[in-house]
Amino acid sequence: SYELTQPPSVSVSPGQTARITCFGDALSREYVYWYQQKSGQAPVLVIYEDTKRFSGIPERFSGSSSGTVATLSISGAQVEDAADYYCYSTNISVNGKEGVFGGGTKVTVL
Amino acid sequence: EVQLVESGGGLVQPGRSLRLSCTGSGFNFGDYAMTWVRQAPGKGLQWLGVIRNKAYGGTTEYAASVKGRFTISRDDSKSVFYLHMNSLRTEDTGLYYCLRPLAYWGQGALVTVSS
């Protein structure tokens, strides 16, 4: 089955840039979406269609995609950005079109 | 304001069935595809399936891991869609979220499959 691969964890100092990657064979032809999930809360959409920031998301969050890898960047990371981040995309197979989440990346800011 | 509220979660024995509901408000429910996602305790997000709106035939797609056991349906007249889960297994335990793809999520319904 189709998979999206993320690093399990990323650490960054406050004010520095955190980058989270997401690898998937179909990413060159399918959009990527990024979600932030804090403990005990539902996920929040951060980036949609590879590069677009969702409403209310700070400008320090940005997305990019090239070939089979998408990247979420947090420029000038803040303590409140510590969370789990998931990429999401779709894949068309013999089973139809299915959604897939990456395994998630725990971002630590300290 | 878009709101989604799940209901129907609880404790169920292995092999039994359960139906989750998700009620939407603050938008024209019939215009949108709707999706179910779950999260096992301490684990990541898993996409379960989607039901398209009537304009796209109301068709469904499922994750391979639940296809044949889970069914998604909708009742636009009530602004509700459902996740019918059969032959439940202990590994189906988790928090089940409904969402209006891809931005709006409910708070989740906890399903515990245990004897």
The DSSP-derived string for A23-81 is E-TTTTTS--EEEEE-TTS--EEEEETTTEEPTT--TTEEEEEETTEEEEEETT--GGG
Mean pLDDT of A11-15: 97
Chain B contact for A110 (CB, 8 A cutoff): no
Residue B74 or A26, more confident: B74
Above pLDDT 90, what percent of chain B? Answer: 97
Which residue in the set B47, B63, B105 is minimally distant from A42, CB to CB?
B105
pLDDT of residue B29: 96
Which residue in the set A42, A98, A103 is minimally distant from B63, CB to CB?
A98
pLDDT single digits (tens) B31-42: 999 999 999 999
SS3 B43: coil
pLDDT of residue B63: 93
A106 contacts A9 by C-beta, under 8 angstroms: yes
Q: Residue B92 — left, alpha, or beta (φ > 0 → left; ψ -120 to 50 → alpha)?
A: alpha
Nearest to A77 by CA among A59, A56, A52: A59
Mean pLDDT of A67-72: 97
pLDDT at B115 over 80: yes
pLDDT of residue B41: 96
Q: Based on C-alpha coordinates, what's the Rg of chain A?
A: 13
Mean pLDDT for chain A? 95
Length of chain B in terms of residues written: 115
A37 contacts on B by Cβ (under 8 Å): 45
Chain A contact for B36 (CB, 8 A cutoff): no
pLDDT of residue A95: 73
Mean pLDDT for chain B? 96
Q: How far is CA A36 from the centre of its chain?
A: 8
pLDDT of residue A93: 80
Q: Which amino acid is at B28?
A: N
